A and B are shown apart, each in its own frame.
Chain A
Amino acid sequence: MAEKKTAPDGPHEFGFETRSIHAGARPDAETGARVTPIHQNTSYVFEDAEHAADLFNLQTFGFIYSRLTNPTVSVLEERLANLEGGRAAVCAASGHAAQFLAMFTLLEPGDSFIASKNLYGGSITQFGHSFKKLGWTCHFVDPTPEEFQRALAAHPDAKCIFLEALANPGGLIVDLEPVAEVAHAAGIPLIVDNTLATPYLLRPFDWGADIVVHSTTKFLSGHANSMGGAVIESGKFDWAASGKFPGMCTPDPAYHGLTFYETFGDFGFTMKARAVALRDFGPAMAPMNAFLTITGTETLALRMDRHVQNAQTVAEFLESHPAVSWVSYAGLKSSPWHTLAKKYLPKGAGSVFTFGLKGGYQAGIKCVETVELFSHLANVGDTRSLIIHPASTTHRQLSEEQQIAAGAGPDVVRLSVGLETAADLIRDLDRALAG
């Protein structure tokens, strides 16, 4: 019998870079293949009828059908859970699909939740319009602890708080720790979209978040070649304590009366998101995309270090440029979020930010049309540097007033600074901003 001994200095903690490369991905048991194979495959042969029954009843672990689980996708799921310091993860076809899986697992028709006003525009639309059709109401607030507190006082039945800690596009940073306390005092989870920071720059679970969602489309895959999303749970939220989550704590008719929290404990939320929401709505991540995203995560630390270094250099250049009226990057001392950046993002404030042009709308259009090296498109988190003028593209349907409220006024240009030589990026912007 093995002897019970707890090592006096605790278990060895592997570093972030080691885990980025190894977590979830041992050599293939069958072949010894070192790189995770692409299981471009839909379905898995049962050993016998009983094995099949056990799998369908979730009484054993294994693969049935790739809408639920796929061996390539599950490597990425375990890796992301590990990098966030969480208990478990489920991947999805896109970041938006991941947000849907999380909310479908949490909410019943008629429920409401509180979200930050400063979110990726697509999330504002998803929450404000499409979720409304499912009977879910989102109350948007300025993302401060006080405003979340006020919103919860007005809507005491709200089921979660959702925010981007490092927000797209404004460069805004939310004071996570007190917001987590506000959520927990109400017995509800804090959900953080950690897309722009990635777990290398920020680990929301360390500050009290309970669920993290990602668009892996961005920095995690890192090369703009794969759509994807993920939901990760910390494993620390007590779903039973508040009585607000009957879907987790009472027998689920969508799964023969299984009670997910009781049966799967600290990964019950993930199991339910997979076994009900992913099963019934079907936005599974493609194995090929999982493979490309796995490869991306292996260099996450290296890439993020260079992304933030380049972003800082470019932001400082823009701040000193005569054609630029303001730069909103939390890495700059002038940013109102600089102090929060030092606390939450000590390794750097990401590489997506906005700046304003003195020449307004026309100068914005000229800038995106003149650049040679920056790609003019609607994405962030690529190795390539990206540029967009929101008022003439993503936000053109809005009135000028609405554009300004969304941080997308006529003078605003958004950058996602890539991994090219910083001097080349500066040269390109300098040319585009010239008279």
Chain B
Amino acid sequence: MNQPAETLPPPLHYDDALVAGVLKDVRTIAMVGASPNWVRPSNFAMKYLLGKGYKVIPVNPGHAGKEIWEQMVYAELGEVPGPIDMVDVFRASKDAGGIIDRAIELKDEKDIKVIWLQLGVRDDAAAARAEAAGLTVIMDRCPKIEYGRLFGELGWCGVNSGVISAKRPKR
């Protein structure tokens, strides 16, 4: 670590079973902060998740009405048509709270079940509000990386998945 440990909150731990369950159950993802620029991490994650069969709806007021990877971009969560299983937040930690509160407001209307904050994005207070409202919250993780890690692809580029198992993987 090259930062004093005191300044960082303790790292978050999520059971593999929880994360794998979320990735298995979720079908529709609203990606807040999705970028049309292909070298941006959000664009990477969106392309990957589309490839894995998820419906990914980009939310970004700066690009509303345009398309990213052939998906219509909406200005804000409330405008996304139909239900949303998971809100995936690609915004700075300081902006996450407002998005989480909006997701809590829309929870019943949109049938939102999970809020996921990207790698490096964390707001413990807002997460507590969302959990109190019955939402599952995962912070400081990337769904692309977690999908790759738990379903065997991440080790292909030398990443330590932490998975130890003698079971034959399902094709």
Binding site for B on A (CB under 8 A): 1-7, 10-11, 14, 18-19, 22-24, 26-30, 32, 51, 54, 57-63, 69, 71, 74-75, 77-78, 81-82, 86-91, 183-184, 187, 189, 208, 210, 236-238, 241-242, 251, 256-259, 262-263, 265-267, 270-271, 274
A257 proximity list for chain B (CB < 8 A): 39
Q: Mark B138-171, 1 if CB is under 8 A from A, else 0.
A: 0000100100100011111111111111111111
Binding site for A on B (CB under 8 A): 1-3, 13-18, 20-22, 25, 38-39, 41, 43-44, 47-48, 51, 113-114, 119-120, 131, 136-137, 142, 145, 148, 152-171
Do the beta carbons of A59 and B44 come within 8 Å of each other? yes
**Which of chain A's residues has its CB closest to B131's CB?**
A4
In the complex with contacts A4-B136, A54-B47, A258-B39, A74-B168 CB distance below 8 A: no
Do the beta carbons of B3 and A241 come within 8 Å of each other? yes
A89 and B159 alpha carbons, distance in the complex (Å) = 6
Do the beta carbons of B48 and A18 come within 8 Å of each other? no
Question: Which of B25, B39, B168, B170 counts the most A-chain CB atoms under 10 A from its CB?
Answer: B39
Do the beta carbons of A270 and B159 come within 8 Å of each other? yes
Do the beta carbons of B21 and A2 come within 8 Å of each other? yes
A28 and B16 alpha carbons, distance in the complex (Å) = 21
A263 and B42 alpha carbons, distance in the complex (Å) = 9
Do the beta carbons of A74 and B158 come within 8 Å of each other? yes
In the complex with contacts A4-B18, A256-B39, A88-B171 CB distance below 8 A: no
Query: What would 9 more interface pairs be, CB under 8 Å, given A54-B47, A63-B156, A86-B160?
Result: A2-B18, A22-B165, A26-B168, A58-B44, A61-B154, A69-B157, A82-B160, A187-B2, A270-B158
B165 proximity list for chain A (CB < 8 A): 22, 26
In the complex with contacts A1-B22, A1-B136, A184-B1, A14-B15 CB distance below 8 A: no
In the complex with contacts A2-B18, A11-B13, A256-B39, A71-B136 CB distance below 8 A: no
A208 proximity list for chain B (CB < 8 A): 1
Do the beta carbons of A81 and B158 come within 8 Å of each other? yes
Do the beta carbons of B166 and A11 come within 8 Å of each other? no
Q: How many A-B residue pairs have CB under 8 A?
A: 155
Shortest C-beta distance, B135 to chain A (Å), equals: 9
Do the beta carbons of B156 and A29 come within 8 Å of each other? no
Question: Which of A26, A257, A259 counts the most B-chain CB atoms under 10 A from its CB?
Answer: A26
Do the beta carbons of A19 and B41 come within 8 Å of each other? no
Q: List 16 A-B contacts (CB under 8 A).
A: A1-B25, A1-B114, A2-B18, A11-B15, A23-B164, A26-B152, A30-B171, A60-B51, A71-B156, A74-B158, A77-B155, A89-B160, A238-B2, A251-B39, A259-B39, A270-B158
A23 proximity list for chain B (CB < 8 A): 160, 164
Do the beta carbons of B158 and A241 come within 8 Å of each other? no
**Which of chain B's residues has its CB closest to A74's CB?**
B156
A91 proximity list for chain B (CB < 8 A): 158
A36 and B156 alpha carbons, distance in the complex (Å) = 13
